[in-house]
Amino acid sequence: MSPRLFLLRLLRRWHARIGFAAMLFFLFLAATGLALNHGNGLGLDGRFIHAGWLARWYGMKSEPPRQAFHSRHHVLIAANGRWLLDGKISGEKLPQPVGLIELADTFVVASDTVLYIYRLDGELIEKLGRDALPGIPVRAIGSIERGIALRTASGIFTSADALSWQRAARRSVLWSAPTGLSAAERQSYGETLVPGISPQQMLLDLHSGRFAGRYGPLFVDLLAVALAALSLSGAWFFLLPGLRRGRH
C-alpha cells in the first residue's frame, strides 16, 4: 500500500471515528444553540426553573424563611426573593416584607421601599414605589381605624387611601408583627421557596460548558477543535477527487 493511500485511509477512518464520537455533543450544541437563538420567542427569558439541586449546583444560597406575617385572612411567607401569599407563589426578586395588614376591602404588604396593595382575592391593585411613600426605609406597617400606618426613618405616617400621608402619633396603631416558624415549617417552606434559574441562563451555561464547572468550557473547546478537524478532513475528502482529475 502506498503511503498516500495509507494516509487517506487513516484520515477517513479517524474522520468517521471523531464524527461518530462527537455526534451526540454536536447535536446537543446545535439544539441548545437553536433554542438560545429563539429564546425570546420561546419565552425562555421570563421563566425560572426552581429545584433545590439546581440552586445548589449554581451555588445559590437558599435561605429558609424564618417568619410569617398573618392578618385575619391572609398569610405571607417570604424567602429568596419569592413570596408565598395565601398559598400562591409569586415573584423572583421580590423584597423581604416587613409587615402585612388587612383593611376593609384590601390588604397591604410593606417592604422597606415598596407597598403592595391587594384586593381581598389577591389581585394586585397597586405597587407604590419610594416616590409614593412618605419616607423610606419603611420599618413597620400597621393599621389604624380606617387606613394604613407606616413607621419610617422619618417618623410615623398614616393614610386612608395611600395617596396622601399625614404625620401621626404612635398610639392607636396596631403594628404588624411576624410570627416564628417551626423547624419543620422552615424546611417545608424553604423547599417551596427555593430560588430559580432562568432557562435561558441554563441553556447558555450548557451550550458553553460552564454548567459542568471549571472543565466544561475546556471540553467544549475540544469539541470545537474536533469540529474544525472534521470540517477540514471533510473538505479534503470532497476536494481530493477533483484535484486528482485536474492533475491527469
Partner 1 sequence: MAWGTCRLLALLTLVFGAAGFVRGEVYQEPDAFIAEVFGSKPSPKLLWLTRDMQAQASAILGHFPAQLRQRYWSDTRRSAWILEEIGKEELITAGFVVADGHIDHVRVLVYRESRGQEVRQSAFLKQFKQAKLGQGDLLDRQIDGIAGATLSVGAMERMARLALYFDRTSRE
Q: Which of residues 48-77 bind partner 1 (CB under 8 A)?
A: 58-61
For partner 1, the closer of residues 68 and 197 by Cβ is: 197
* Interacting span for partner 1 (CB under 8 A) from 19-27, 150-158, 172-180, 213-221: 213-221
Quote the CA–CA distance of 34 and 26 in Å, as a whole number.
12
Q: How far is the CB of 173 from partner 1 (least distance, A)?
A: 24
Q: Is 46 in the site for partner 1 (CB under 8 A)?
A: yes
28 half-sphere exposure, CB direction, 13 A CA radius: 14
For partner 1, the closer of residues 32 and 80 by Cβ is: 80
Helix 199-208 and helix 3-37, axial crossing angle in degrees, nearest 10: 170
Quote the CA–CA distance of 24 and 27 in Å, as a whole number.
5
For partner 1, the closer of residues 142 and 195 by Cβ is: 195
For partner 1, the closer of residues 72 and 214 by Cβ is: 214
The reply to whether omega before 137 is within 30° of 0 (cis) is yes
Quote the CA–CA distance of 58 and 50 in Å, as a whole number.
12
Question: How wide is the angle at C-alpha 186 spanned by C-alphas 185 and 187, nearest 5°?
Answer: 90
Residue selected from 171, 214, 244, 245 as contacting partner 1 according to rule CB under 8 A: 214
Residue selected from 96, 154, 166, 172 as contacting partner 1 according to rule CB under 8 A: 96
Q: Which of residues 111-170 bind partner 1 (CB under 8 A)?
A: 111-114, 119, 123-127, 129, 131-132, 163-164
Binning the chain into helix, strand and coil, the percentages to the nearest 5 are 40, 25, 35
For partner 1, the closer of residues 112 and 233 by Cβ is: 112
DSSP 130: G
Chain residues that interact with partner 1, rule: CB under 8 A:
40, 45-46, 58-61, 80-81, 92-96, 111-114, 119, 123-127, 129, 131-132, 163-164, 195, 197-198, 205, 210, 213-214, 216
